């Protein structure tokens, strides 16, 4: 049973930074990709960033390019999202997710393209 546990959310002021972590368990085949998506009440879920097995290729949504960095420690099965220069519009529940098998490269996956996701961690950015 695949489990994804996200942590690291919190409340920061505009311009601040947070680092989200996600510990994955319940699978042995590392093929596939992982990523983050977010949701604000009343809005559609939005893909934020995706990283492919091996960690050499990443993709970001336009609103976070240049500010967020996705990375992973494959040995620890841990996914990270470093968020810098945070803005109030980044306020959302952030979910880490995993897609097994082949992943289309060069774009950010949306939530429905993943096979698994965790419970989310709340990020709140105040102005």
Q: Secondary structure of 48-75 in the HEC alphabet? A: EEEEECCCCCEEECHHHCCCEEEEEEHH
Reported as a single tens digit per residue, the pLDDT across 43-52 is 999 999 999 8
pLDDT at position 103: 83
Distances (CA, A) of 112 to 14, 33, 39, 117: 30, 14, 13, 10
Residue written as tokens 């976070």? 64
Reading the block at residue 58, the tokens are 């990443």
Evaluate if residue 17 carries a pLDDT over 90: yes
pLDDT at position 41: 87
Residue 87 and residue 99: Cα distance in Å, rounded? 28
pLDDT at position 28: 79
pLDDT at position 26: 87
pLDDT at position 51: 94
Reported as a single tens digit per residue, the pLDDT across 73-116 is 988 889 999 999 999 999 999 999 999 987 888 889 999 999 99
Task: Give the pLDDT band of residue 58 (cuts 50, 70, 90).
Answer: very high
pLDDT at position 32: 86
Burial of 36 (0-12, 13-18, 19+ CB in 10 A): buried
| Percent of residues, the chain, with pLDDT higher than 70 | 99
Give the count of alpha carbons within 13 A of 51, CB side only: 22
């Amino acid at each position: 049973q695949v489990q994804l546990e996200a942590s690291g959310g919190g409340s920061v002021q505009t311009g601040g930074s947070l680092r989200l972590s996600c510990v994955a368990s319940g699978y042995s085949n590392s093929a596939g990709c992982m990523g983050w998506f977010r949701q604000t009440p009343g809005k559609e879920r939005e893909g934020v960033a995706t990283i492919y097995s091996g960690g050499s290729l990443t993709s970001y949504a336009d609103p976070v390019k240049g500010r967020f960095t996705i990375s992973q420690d494959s040995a620890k099965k841990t996914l990270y999202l470093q968020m810098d220069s945070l803005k109030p519009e980044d306020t959302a529940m952030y979910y880490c997710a995993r897609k097994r098998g082949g992943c289309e490269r060069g774009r950010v996956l949306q939530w429905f393209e993943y096979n698994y996701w965790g419970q989310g961690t709340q990020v709140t950015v105040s102005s």
